[in-house]
Amino acid sequence: MYNETRRAAWVEINLGALNDNYRAIRRIAPYSAVIAAVKADAYGHGAVKVSWELVKAGAEYLGVATLDEAAALRRAGVVTPLVLFSATPRGNVKDVLDLKVIPVISSYEDATLLSDMASALRGGKAADIFLAVETGMGRLGILFDNTGSAQIADIARLPGVNIAGIFSHLSAADDDDPSFTMDQINQFEKISASLAAMGIRPEIRTIANSAGVMRYPQSHYEAVRPGIALYGLYPARSMDDSAIDLSPVMSVRANIVLIRRVPAGFSVGYRHSYHTERESLIGVLPLGYGDGLPRVVSGKGRVIVNGVYAPLVGTITMDQAMVDLTDVPGVKEYDEAIVLGSDGTLSVTADEIAELSGTITYEATTRFGQRLPKVYKGAK
């Protein structure tokens, strides 16, 4: 139990596993720079700590989603180049320059705003941008038709911006059918070649997320952008047999703060959602859906206590959840329950929680990171 966090529930972050995952990625993409995705507080793992660790390990860039995330890293002293994966709000172009962020640019309009601002503030020193091109994500990027290529030619002529990279995003690299991804990669190749013919030859081409890194070596180019794989999780369940060995970085633990012996027919949870069938030991865990344990997991989820699984019973509430401990050997108050993580051969995986709650592992870890205190282990 961690008294300093004033909570008997916490997220544990294994920095050793983070380093191992980083090295595993580097091994399969040895010729590419790494733009490590640390957006959304590093998928719930804590962006500042995770960023420091990845920068120490050698990551050349960090990827954020908001200017606030960029500002938090700069305040913490991180000087590594930051790439802003989302569209820059048009009212905040100056912050891109102040924070030395590389924005991903999808329109001439946005490029002009930045170019004007850079020319005004930096006395002729152009700002680096990554030029986004649409290849099949349907989100950001210039559509590479006649108008699009004319726009790009105009952007290339702007005095205040420098096209440092060409950027696109794979949307289906975790799908077992490779056809859509191959088509995206082919489009990306063609666009890069057309840009080269126009005299636009940036040093960096980047399109690969974790699934691309793992499955499509031809998508690595000069920089890869892993996120979920750094955190030790596979982009899709069907990928956990892939060549690369990853270990989950996050686990979630709680002390059982109260255990009561109750009779058969006892009701547990809002709207008496569970009734004991026998005399039972019902424990209370001090975390709930406000901490990322999804309410829809009520009655379906489980935790690990003293080497066995124990079912969650009743509705998961905002701050607390109940667990049936009747069959747990020797259980006592303040024993530790593993809500996410493993103990020997037993494990409650992010995949399991994601599947029970109709989502993906990305959302599962991100939500656990929002309110629970974080404890870092294995820092080097």
Ligand X SMILES: *Cc1c(COP(=O)(O)O)cnc(C)c1O
The residues assigned a catalytic role are 39, 270
Q: Is residue 85 a contact point for ligand X (CB under 6 A)?
A: yes
In whole angstroms, the minimum distance from the beta carbon of 210 to ligand X comes to 3
Which residues lie across from 346 on neighbouring strands? Answer: 343
Interface residue with ligand X among 103, 227, 286, 294 (CB under 6 A) is 227
**Pairing between β-strand 161-167 and β-strand 204-206 as defined by DSSP bridges:** parallel
How many residues in the shown chain lie near ligand X by CB under 6 A? 12
Q: How far apart are CA 300 and CA 297, in angstroms?
A: 5
Taking residue 196's Cβ as centre, other Cβ atoms within 10 Å add up to 12
Interface residue with ligand X among 24, 228, 239, 297 (CB under 6 A) is 228
Interface residue with ligand X among 34, 88, 165, 169 (CB under 6 A) is 169
Interface residue with ligand X among 45, 225, 367, 374 (CB under 6 A) is 225
Q: Which stretch binds ligand X (CB under 6 A): 214-222, 223-231, 298-306, 321-329?
A: 223-231
Q: Is residue 22 a contact point for ligand X (CB under 6 A)?
A: no
Q: Is residue 226 a contact point for ligand X (CB under 6 A)?
A: yes
* Residue spans of alpha helices (H) in 210-301: 210-215
List Cα–Cα distances, 273 to 35, 266, 315, 316, 322, in angstroms.
Answer: 46, 11, 6, 10, 11
Interface residue with ligand X among 15, 37, 67, 364 (CB under 6 A) is 37
| Cα 217 → chain centroid | 21
Query: Considering only residues 191-210, where is the footprint of ligand X by CB under 6 A?
Result: 209-210
Burial of 173 (0-12, 13-18, 19+ CB in 10 A): buried
- Could you list the beta-strand ranges (E) of 229-299: 250-255, 258-262, 267-268, 274-275, 280-285
Nearer to ligand X, 54 or 254 (CB): 54
Q: Is residue 165 a contact point for ligand X (CB under 6 A)?
A: no
Nearer to ligand X, 57 or 331 (CB): 57
Tell me which residues touch ligand X (CB under 6 A): 37, 39, 85, 169, 209-210, 225-229, 235
